[in-house]
Amino acid sequence: MNISSSKAAFSEAQELIPGGVNSPVRAFSSVGGTPIFVEKGEGGYLVDIDGNRYIDYVQSWGPLIFGHTDEAIENAVIAAVKKGLSFGAPTLAETELAKLVVGLIDSIDKIRFVSSGTEAVMSAIRLARGYTGRDDIIKFEGNYHGHSDSLLVQAGSGMITFGAPSSPGVPADFTKHTLLAKYNDIESVKKCFKDSDDIACIIIEPIAGNMGLVPADKDFLAELRKLCDENGTLLIFDEVMSGFRATLRGAESIVGTKPDIITMGKVIGGGMPVGAFGARQEIMAQLSPEGPVYQAGTLSGNPVAMAAGLAAITKLKDKSILYGILEKRALRLLEGMKKAAEKNGFSLQTNVRGSMFGFFFNDKPVKNFEHACNSDAERFAAFHRGMLEEGCYFACSLYETGFISTATTDEMIEKTVTAAEKVMANI
């Protein structure tokens, strides 16, 4: 496969942009090699600047549940563009998208739109702190909630559950209110409540997609709900990735536990930059200008972004059976990959939730971040390189989730399984 144009483009980009990319995971650093530079998308395919075509299982890291260049979304965006790019004044599309989302997700009465998942989560946490009048928050190892200061934490030293910054530039004072717990381990959460009586919220990805795909156990989520209720703590479901990806009506509709606040992003913008957070009326009433908790954005609820989101969510609502169809395709893909792995003497742990899929080169089931870290990173890197050669574009890190779109056909799945059989025999 010739990727000489991508190689040249990457060298030039590196002269001007740190690492040559505007978001680190795009750099392929964990699998080696050169990131491909994209010329365009076509339905379920990605075309690079050397003219190579790939079946795309990344889909812009989640947003494109209808694949690239979806006609309805494209038309909605073009119509909006012709009326003006931004006004900084209310438009009808904001209320329409709000009505749609609030109607679909039981636990929220009101919603506010922002421009990224990071912003949605940052604002949701401020809201939880403002509402409860408390400072501490609990997050889980291996869950990602964007790059705001208080969420860039890793385990601190020794017995202490309070987190340490995971990035230079984040003062330890900013993360000292973030307690770290273990995913799917209720005892570690109880310990946090022993260490602090000032916990504003627990934030969790109910279907974790940033340590590979690791869904939370139903019982675990129910216990979190109970602990929150007993302690006057709010439960935040970060559904920036899983929202409208795993199912139409939020994780709450499949796990049976309801959060107090939900954050969304990715699919809700149909490929444009949109984030959102919502909650019941009494919590949202704390938000500025109705209440005292400040939050704002020049481009929040941008009309072009709202048009894309509205087109995407409208289509999803009208065709909710597609989640079952996408899940079947994802299951078939992973079944094929698992068999190919086993034929070559190693095991693959797999998970599917709606259009989301994950796989680990690991002998044991993966329930938390520590388990995910015990996966075979070298084998993953070899798999990734091999699949790319075969024209299948998978996320370039074993800690990412894969995505099926409505443009990913059964034929493309079968082609991918055949490619996986070939690649697995050589790794």
Binding mask 9-48 for ligand PLP (x = CB under 6 A): ----------------------------------------
117 binds ligand PLP (CB under 6 A): yes
User: From the CB of 242, what's the least distance to ligand PLP, in Å?
Assistant: 7
H or E element, residue 39: strand 38-42
CB-nearer residue toward ligand PLP: 144 or 193: 144
Q: Is 321 exposed, middle or buried (0-12, 13-18, 19+ CB in 10 A)?
A: exposed
Q: Is 252 in the site for ligand PLP (CB under 6 A)?
A: no
Best CA proximity match to 339, nearest among 423, 412, 417: 417
121 touching ligand PLP, by CB under 6 A: yes
- Mark whether 238 is an active-site residue: yes
Among 44, 163, 206, 209, binds ligand PLP (CB under 6 A): 209
Q: Does 269 bind ligand PLP (CB under 6 A)?
A: no
Judged by phi (left if over 0) then psi (alpha if -120 to 50, else beta), residue 346 lies in beta
**Which member of 144, 183, 323, 399 is catalytic?**
144
- Under rule CB under 6 A, residue 65 binds ligand PLP: no
Instruction: Report the residue number, 20 or 146, with the smaller CB distance to ligand PLP.
Output: 146
Dist CA 120 CA 406 (whole Å): 27
CA dist 136 and 108 (Å) reads: 23
Q: How far is the CB of 68 from ligand PLP (least distance, A)?
A: 19
Q: Which of 28, 144, 220, 237 binds ligand PLP (CB under 6 A)?
A: 144
Residue range at the interface with ligand PLP (CB under 6 A); choices 153-161, 203-211, 317-325, 381-389: 203-211
Structure letter (DSSP) for residue 397: S
Of residues 68, 112, 126, 145, which one binds ligand PLP by CB under 6 A?
A: 145
Q: Of 316, 290, 337, which Cα lies nearest the Cα of 103?
A: 316
Let me know if 266 is a catalytic residue.
yes
Taken in order 405, 206, 239, 176, is the CA torsion positive or negative? negative
Which of 277, 285, 322 is CA-nearest to residue 301? 277
Q: Does 116 bind ligand PLP (CB under 6 A)?
A: yes
Cα(110)–Cα(118) distance, rounded to whole angstroms? 19
Query: CA-CA distance, 202 to 248, in Å (whole number)?
Result: 23
Distance CA 132, CA 38 (A): 46
d(CA 192, CA 137): 9
Q: Which of 244, 263, 261, 61 is nearest to 145 (CA)?
A: 263
Question: CB under 6 A: which stretch of 96-104, 237-245, 248-256, 282-290 binds ligand PLP?
Answer: 237-245
**Which residue lies nearer to ligand PLP by CB, 269 or 386?**
269
Name 169's Cβ contacts closer than 8 Å, sequence gap at least 6: none
Q: Considering beta carbons, is residue 19 or 33 the nearer one to ligand PLP?
A: 19
Q: How far apart are CA 349 and CA 364, in angstroms?
A: 7
Please identify the residue of the shown chain whose CB is closest to the bound ligand PLP. 117
Is residue 372 within the footprint of ligand PLP (CB under 6 A)?
A: no
Among 146, 250, 301, 386, binds ligand PLP (CB under 6 A): 146
Residues near ligand PLP (CB under 6 A): 116-118, 121, 144-146, 205, 209-210, 238, 240-241, 265, 275
Active site residues: 144, 238, 266
